[in-house]
Amino acid sequence: MKPNKDHYKVIILGTGPAGLTAAIYTSRARLEPLVVDGPSPGGLLMLTTDVENYPGFADGIMGPDLMMATRAQAERFGAEIVLATCEQADLTSRPIKLQLDDHEVTCDALIVATGAEARWLGIESEQHYRRIGGGVTACAVCDGAFFPGVPVAVVGGGDSAMEEAHFLTKFASKVHIIHRRGELRASKIMQERAEKNPKIEFIWNTGVEEVLGDGRLVTGLRLKNLLTEQESTLEVSALFMAIGHTPNTALFKGQLDMDDKGYLITAKTSMQTNIPGVFAAGDVQDTAYKQAITAAGSGCMAAMDAEHYLEALES
């Protein structure tokens, strides 16, 4: 989809909670932003069923419904949202140059809210039960409460896997941690915490070969011991992935400062990156929380920072 103009005061990349919140704030500031959907319109919440931890919804809200409502709110205030992908970016030029599919646009300020993708196993059955919200997820905080009194499994061996497992013991009857190795990558204190929890059980040197289910909901896992190649079946009602995230920052390598995992680095007191006029918000720079509400908050901050930056340029 071709943008209406060639130059904008603000362009926002991404339409997850961070990008759309930034769109609401910049639109209300009369900055008339262009918002670029990218390859995953709506972000990870488009794959989430009930969202019960976002303020303002006493009975919860479906993830896609939340994102469509936020999108409509941004459009109500005048944000221009286009279905396009940013293929190239020259962040050092002034104005900033972006190649959106086959059309070049420029802007004075850029907000990068391209998000991060959870790492998955890459097996077909996993994708099926993830797509329909049937029990495969990458967020225990988001979905753990939907599995009270039933056994669940967590895949991973780092601190995040231990944190997810510990959180899930508040709801599940048993939490199985499945790890491909014979020892954890998690810090000693996190490992000891998990080992002491009577609800947590470790399954070592094992991979998930298939997610089993009734076509609608997860009922178990087909496992394979990587040392003996022996297969077994584990009855669980959910599979939680905790093998990390991959931030969508490949486009900006060599231009924006990143940590060793590819997350964008912002200033301590703002969402400013190392390049003036370029701001980052949401999961693309969040290495710790990865919640819709924190993404939305950082989108608000990035929008206000961009507004102040533009005001300084005009003064």
Which residue among 37, 86, 107, 143 is the active-site one? 143
At 160, phi and psi to the nearest 5? -65, -40
Told to judge if 139 belongs to the known catalytic residues of this protein, a careful annotator would answer yes
Tell me the C-alpha to C-alpha distance, in Å, between residue 256 and each of 93, 94, 122, 305. Answer: 13, 16, 29, 17
Task: Count other Cβ atoms within 10 Å, centred on residue 112.
Answer: 32
Task: Count other Cβ atoms within 10 Å, centred on residue 57.
Answer: 15
Which residue among 108, 142, 283, 286 is the active-site one? 142
Which residue among 37, 107, 139, 283 is the active-site one? 139
For residue 260, give every residue at least 6 positions away whose Cβ sits within 8 Å of its Cβ, in sequence order, or none.
Answer: none
Told to judge if 143 belongs to the known catalytic residues of this protein, a careful annotator would answer yes
DSSP one-letter code for 265: P
Tell me the C-alpha to C-alpha distance, in Å, between residue 80 and each of 10, 197, 306, 313. Answer: 11, 50, 17, 23
Q: Which residues pair with 302 in a beta bridge?
A: none
Task: Count other Cβ atoms within 10 Å, centred on residue 257.
Answer: 13
Active site residues: 139, 142-143
